[in-house]
Chains A and B, each alone.
Chain A
Amino acid sequence: MKNLRMNSKLNRRTKTVVLAGVIILLLVSISIFGIVMSPELYAPDYSAKKMVPSFTHPFGTDYLGRDMFFRSMKGLSTSILIGMLAATVSAFMALALGLLAATAGGWVDKVVSYFVDLFMGVPHMVLLMLISFMLGGGLKGVIIGVAVTHWPNLTRIIRGEVMQVRNAQYVKASRKFGTSKLQVALRHIVPHVLPQFIIGLILLFPHAILHEAGLTFLGFGLPIDAPAIGIILSEALKHIATGMWWLVFFPGVMLVIVVMLFDKLGEQIKLLMDPGSAQE
């Protein structure tokens, strides 16, 4: 109750900052928890097989007696790390391509737009399967696949943003002073698209994480005993007829919560960087 009253005293902007901070803290602690966690915690324990959720095993145990809480946490941590890498790589690709297309114009623009259309023309899941197949599967296939397929949407957005300022007075003036195209792009255009870029970067996370989970669920990539959310759920599918509902329910809920946290984080940062959007 005390907390609530304190919150109501804060103004909306501070509240947004606090909320974003709490979300970041949560996500960071989940990923660090997963990295430092000892594998013993989710090792098979044949004396505790198929246990219903309880205080000792909050998410229950599976048919090998592995603790589902720690397995899920480890899986989430892997997902967040892969998502982070993938989103960063994709976002920088999008920034580079978007800038290139809009500042160079002409045939460069056409080529970039063609590739954006090309990548958007293949269903994302199919493209991921193809790339993972090309790399011969494994963790590498999943990471690279997820990392190099998320740029087209953001490229479009950034290209559009750059197009808007390309003919602005300050850009033209700077060109007239003899600044090179590259200098103009880095000094005057990048700062303008930075907010869109950061928001886009964060909003790529949920997509990347969901695609990573889907790809591993299908059996591409990670080894079968690796604690990844997709693999945990595909194992749950194999044993679904046994009626162990907790194997399906908890890992999935955790995944949804993490994805929603990223979405919320993106929303908060959008509010901070682009106050105009708060009016909606």
Chain B
Amino acid sequence: MNQLLKQAISTLIRMVLLLVGVSMVTFLLVISSPIDPIDAYVGAESNVSQEQRDNIAEYWGLNNPPVERYFTWLSNLIKGDMGTSISYQKPVTEILGSRFLASLTLMAVAWLLSGIFGFLLGVMSGAMQGSIFDKCVKALCFVLSSTPTFWIGLLFLMLFSVVLGWFPIGLSVPIGKLSSEVTLLERVHHLILPAFTLSITGISGIALHTRQKIIDVLKMDYVLFAKARGESKWTLIRRHGLRNIAIPAITLQFASISELFGGSVLAENVFSYPGLGSAASAAGLKGDVPLLLGIALCSVLFVFAGNLIANLLYGILNPQIREGGKLG
């Protein structure tokens, strides 16, 4: 147990160090953009005198050296102040707060769906290695892994919303309704297509991984012995297979959150779903520096949480790792 705690702490320290590094890189990337923040703030047409521009620059501390600006930003961040979004004219924390939940729901649903479907497909095709079903799953995974998320989204939109008219074209709630009037059913109705789109791209990785693991496990001696005892194939997989493959599969699924977030940026844009991803691309296009920084940090936190859980789970669930004294 002591060993485990030590590993958890060292993992945490590494993660925090990385977080500091990422925030620094992100900050540097964003402030070295040639897009003038004052231009983005006042808009292109308005005639603002040079004096007023200097005042704004002074007020925002744009003339200070980057290191000082970074520390100002960091200290404000720790106080919970992430600045004011230029394009929305609202505090960034407020925007993030309202969009975070929408994105989290979308990603959580997609994550669960892809995990469950991928795992099941992988187990089934691995158990029936060489059959037509197996070949179909393999071909499907191959195609899916080469398909861009946003194109799948477009196809779904075309088929289900435009041609069949089953689902609305965008947004997470019906247009023109107050958020208090929206029923749960309506929310779910608007969530189905984006969630499905996002989950489909995650299926291939987990399915192929699980398939390979099942095939490996079925070659083991203890499986041969179990067969000799007369266990049927599916009992055998349930008793000896699933336990061995579930842990790496879960870890893999947690580690794939980075890709999930990237996919959600695209999927949210296709379905104009008001989450973090669509806000991120809008902020980037409009030169909204505070919002872009806030979302980038948010996404990094997502990935870190995923990786941290993956690392810790691997240590906790896998006795071999625990006793070997080494963490992933």
Bound form: Cα–Cα A237–B154 in Å: 7
Q: Is the pair B35, A133 in contact by a Cβ cutoff of 8 Å?
A: yes
Q: Is the pair A213, B154 in contact by a Cβ cutoff of 8 Å?
A: no
Q: Select the residue from A122, A131, A135, A252 with max chain B CB neighbours within 10 A.
A: A122
- Chain A residues with Cβ under 8 A from B270's Cβ? 237
- Chain B residues with Cβ under 8 A from A114's Cβ? 17-18, 21
| Partner-B contacts on A (CB < 8 A) | 114, 117-118, 120-126, 129-136, 206, 210, 213-214, 217-220, 233, 236-237, 240-241, 243, 245, 248-249, 252, 255-256, 259-260, 263
Q: Tell whether A243 pairs with B258 under 8 Å between CB atoms, given A118-B21, A126-B280, A134-B33.
A: no
Q: Is the pair B281, A219 in contact by a Cβ cutoff of 8 Å?
A: yes
Bound form: Cα–Cα A233–B18 in Å: 36
| Partner-A contacts on B (CB < 8 A) | 14, 17-19, 21-22, 25-26, 29-30, 32-35, 142-143, 145-151, 154-155, 157-158, 161-163, 169, 258-259, 261-263, 265-266, 269-270, 280-281, 284-285, 287, 292, 295-296, 299-300, 302-304, 307
21 inter-chain pairs at a CB distance below 8 angstroms, sorted by A residue, are A121-B258, A121-B300, A123-B261, A123-B303, A125-B262, A126-B261, A126-B280, A129-B280, A129-B281, A131-B29, A133-B30, A233-B150, A236-B154, A240-B161, A240-B162, A240-B169, A245-B163, A248-B151, A252-B155, A256-B148, A263-B146
Q: Tell whether A118 pairs with B18 under 8 Å between CB atoms, given A124-B258, A125-B265, A130-B296.
A: yes
- Chain A residues with Cβ under 8 A from B299's Cβ? 122-123, 126
Q: Is the pair B162, A243 in contact by a Cβ cutoff of 8 Å?
A: yes
Given A117-B14, A133-B33, A218-B281; 8 other pairs, CB 8 A cutoff = A118-B18, A125-B263, A129-B281, A129-B292, A136-B34, A214-B150, A243-B163, A260-B146
Cβ-defined partner of A129 (8 Å) among B284, B300, B302: B284
Shortest distance from the beta carbon of A183 to any chain B beta carbon, whole Å: 34
Bound form: Cα–Cα A124–B265 in Å: 11
**Which residue of chain B is the closest to A241 with respect to CB atoms?**
B162
- Chain A residues with Cβ under 8 A from B150's Cβ? 213-214, 217, 233
Cβ-defined partner of A218 (8 Å) among B33, B34, B265, B296: B265
- Chain A residues with Cβ under 8 A from B285's Cβ? 218-220
Shortest distance from the beta carbon of B23 to any chain A beta carbon, whole Å: 10
**Which residue of chain A is the closest to B263 with respect to CB atoms?**
A125
Shortest distance from the beta carbon of A223 to any chain B beta carbon, whole Å: 13
Bound form: Cα–Cα A236–B163 in Å: 15
Q: Is the pair B158, A240 in contact by a Cβ cutoff of 8 Å?
A: yes
Q: Is the pair B303, A122 in contact by a Cβ cutoff of 8 Å?
A: yes
**Which residue of chain B is the closest to A211 with respect to CB atoms?**
B262
**Which residue of chain A is the closest to B307 with respect to CB atoms?**
A121
Q: Tell whether A130 pairs with B303 under 8 Å between CB atoms, given A125-B261, A218-B266, A237-B154.
A: no
The 3 nearest A-B residue pairs measured at CB = A125-B262, A252-B151, A259-B146
